[in-house]
Each structure stands twice: as C-alpha cells, then as structure tokens.
Structure 1
Amino acid sequence: MSSAAPGRRRWARVSRLVSFSAAHRLHCKSLSNEENLQLFGKCNNPNGHGHNYKVVVTVHGEIDPVTGMVMNLTDLKEYMEEAIMKPLDHKNLDLDVPYFADVVSSLWSLRHLSTLFTSRHISGPNRFGSVDRASPSDSRVPGSIPVKGMYLGCGHIPRRGCAGGS
C-alpha cells in the first residue's frame, strides 16, 4: 500500500558529481597584455595553467509511479559523460572548446557552459526530469562562495569585468 496521498504528485531531486582536469588561461582579447596581467595576475600565464574541477549536476522532476525514479541514474551517468567529460576532460579549454574562442574561460563561464551542455542531453521530450543546476568548482580551493544559489569555488576574483565574458 502506498503512503502517498491519492492524486498527490511526488517530486524529488538527485545529484551526481563528476571530476575532470583541464587547462586554461584567463585572458580577455579586448584588453592589452598589461591590463590582462594586472587583472588576472598569474592566471594570465601565456602557457596557461590547470585545474581539477568537480561538477555537480542536480536534476529534479516528478517521481514516475511505475519506475519510482525521476530519471534512470545510469542514463544520468551517460549524459554527464557525453555533456561534460568528453568535451572538457584533459582539454585546453581555450584551444579545444569552441565556446571559449571568444569567451574568457572563467569558472562562471564554465558553469554556464556545463549547464548548457547538460540541459541539451537531459531535458526534452521523452526524458525524465530537467536540469536544476550544473555547478563546477575548482577542487583545489577550500570553501566556496554562493552565487545565485550555486556554490562555486574560486581562487581569484577579478576587480572588473571584461567584454570577453568573464
């Protein structure tokens, strides 16, 4: 016998974490080399630098009364492999990921891209659930700061923005 009230919909959230490594350089094309160095410091190294990132994807939706799931966790694992690991793991974000050709490869830009990639794979017709959030963080940075309900680790916060999307 079900403990849920008849006619009442049940909702749930589920999160999954993946880790990946990638290199990048914080550099804004609309600024001079001197301005970039002043703004981004050692993160503007012309040879780039690397990070170990963790991405938590949270999906939510109505619990299917037949399967008892919002979505199959094996499917979520496969979607995250396609959406995050294949395009980003062991890549130079600035050189290997077309999105960053004209966008500064900041943690915030990476968060936006992770959500876009993941939403394309998970949300849509004939799919369970929808993406609630995809939050990358630099795993080397202890602690985190809240950003619109998301928690992102950040080791360097520039003093001013850049037209390149930082």
Structure 2
Amino acid sequence: MTTSSPPVVRRATPADAEALAHLHLDVWDDAYTGLMPQSILDDRHDEVEDRVERWRTILTDNHDTLVAEDGEGLVGFASSGPGRDADVDTELELWALYVRARLWGSGLGYALFSEAIGDRAAYLWVLAGNERSIRFYERQGFRLDGTRDEHDEGLHVRMLRAGT
C-alpha cells in the first residue's frame, strides 16, 4: 500500500531541472518502449547532464511548463507555448504531456492538460502508433489533420483542435 500524497500540479521552476530531466527520461521509456528504436531510448540516458542543463535553461527562460508532484517526487509534466508550425492557423501548441506509467488512467494527464491548454484551440504532434495517447487527445477534441513528419524516433502525426 502506498502512502504517497495525491499529485499537485504547479508551475515548474529552474530548481526542478534535475528531477524533470530524470522524469523526462523515465516517461519516454514508459511511453515509447516498443514504439521506437530502443537505441534512441538508451542513448538519451547517456546525456543526463546535458538534459539537466537544457531543462534549467528552458525553465529559466520562463517557458510554460507545469509539473505534477506527489510525495515521491515529480510524476508528470506538460509544456505548451506558441505554435512552431507556419502552416497552422492556431497559435498554441502542446509541446509535451507525460505522466509516469503508474498513474496512467488516474486523471493526472487530464489535470495537466487542462492547466496547460484548457479549452483553447491548439495542436500537437504525437508518435504514430501511440494509440493510447491518440485516443486521449481524441477525447479532448483533437483530430488527426493528415500532416506527418518523419524523425529518427519514428513518424509523428499532427492533431488539431478548434477552441470551444
């Protein structure tokens, strides 16, 4: 039986950089093992210090990153900001949304999503074949728009949602 407290969502600070870098590695392992080449997941663990510094810079530059924390530490995060795609008439992009596997289905992903995006128009990229995530975003009103982009880790597909 766990004595962990319920997760609390808050804005990330530069002090979260190290824990966030480790969380980011863990949640990628949880989400993408079997969906992308294992070598990509393994190689990410060789760059921990660089990842910590990248997160410190991101959080210092005041990017919109939220973290969820329980009694055991960080358990999820979401990042959003200005859209980076010139061919989309939507200004907001969900850059990342991840939750530790032990909390999948708990509502934490939805809580992070709601804080980061709410009911605003937005778009995001998701790894093709990541059906769990695609279904989650469809429940939030997102639809695949047919745009695809190949990366080393695999094919990404774009999803859009009009504001409500």
Query: Which has more strand, going by share of residues?
Result: 2
**TM-score of the superposed pair, with normalisation by structure 2:** 0.26
Higher gyration radius (CA): 1
